[in-house]
Amino acid sequence: MNIYKDSKVKSIKAREILDSRGNWTVEAELETPQGVFIDSTPSGASTGKYEAKTVAPEIAVKNINEIIAPELKGKDVSDQKEVDKIIKKLNVGANATTAVSMAICRAGAAAKNLPLYRYIAEFCGEQFSAAAENCSPQTCFNIINGGAHATNDLDFQEFMIVPQTKTIKESLKIASDIYRELRNKLGKNVGDEGGFAPDIKTAGESLELLSSQNIKIIIDVAASQFSDAKKKIYNLDYFENLIKKYSIIGLEDPFEENDWRNFQEITEKLGREITIIGDDLLATNPERIKEAHEKKACNGLLLKVNQIGTVSEAIEAAKLAGSYGWKIMVSHRSGETNDDFIADLAVGIGADYIKAGAPARGERVAKYNRLLRIEEELIG
């Protein structure tokens, strides 16, 4: 393996680009002696109050060009943790640091002449390197959209299918077949993430549409977006009855982000049967993860780089959750680009799951197609 001696930043520049919702976001272009590396920052429609703070896209671009670029010129991209510390201290907005941090990581992999997922696995340590060899993540496809991701009356945000297969290719085949079949039934109205947004109102109606012997289901409830009246309807008894009736293996944010008591109760009651995944509850923040572990409030982490702002901090969060025996799901955002970084991240950290939206639309399938290529490299 040829490891390049000179892996220092030559230049960084940023620009505004459009995301999948037609909103402006941030793209960073980083140059080293090994080439040019480009990554971009996604954004969420439903964001938690504990996420790292962002700035307006035009301000983030200005901050990268005028503050981050001169600060990082000449820095070694193979020292991810140190570079991330530098940019974090600059207080330039998480949408600025996320794009730069991912580009640094991509450049670091090139400097060591490694595929990005292997480089991330090495950064994580031996236990993750072993997991990466199996191309481990199960793919979770957002088939029906509601909540903040759609204009229908469905309260829950995502109904995801998890095909029970041994390979990502088999999983994609099942998901695409189901997606095409439902398109004939439900029409072409879709939500932000490519899932269908039919004119239905209840979780039961959605779950009936997704019943199949070959799949399990994970629901992103996104309860932090609920009104007080709806929070009373969707209680522990409600979710317990739902799980008895349908093949549900995970609930994401079944309660709002400060409702520790209900998170504790549902984890105690249902945590042996399913994964209770913290998104807004945890915000990919190691301090929130520690608190949730102490309170036994969940047993799964939703991992989003832009929630915390740097790759090294996201990996720290993953390692911490892994040390607790939690499941880890790497996630996209509703406002996405064609950036496929999270596919390599999911494989590199040995994540249990990855969700990247429906098996349709360019910004979603970019991630799934990257997983196919990684799988081909690893298992032929």
Active site residues: 193, 304
> What letters, b where the CB count within 10 A reaches 16 and e where it falls short, cover 137-152?
bbbbbbbbbbbbbbeb
* Dihedral of alpha carbons 278, 357, 19, 132, sign: positive
DSSP code per residue over 7-18? -B--EEEEEEEE
**How many CA within 13 A on the CB side of residue 332?**
29
C-alpha to C-alpha distance for 311 and 203, rounded to whole angstroms: 35
Tokens in use for 283? 């915000």
Q: Phi, psi (5° rounding) for residue 13?
A: -140, 155
Measured CA to CA in angstroms, residue 17 lies from 23, 40, 46, 82, 377 at distances of 8, 8, 21, 28, 31
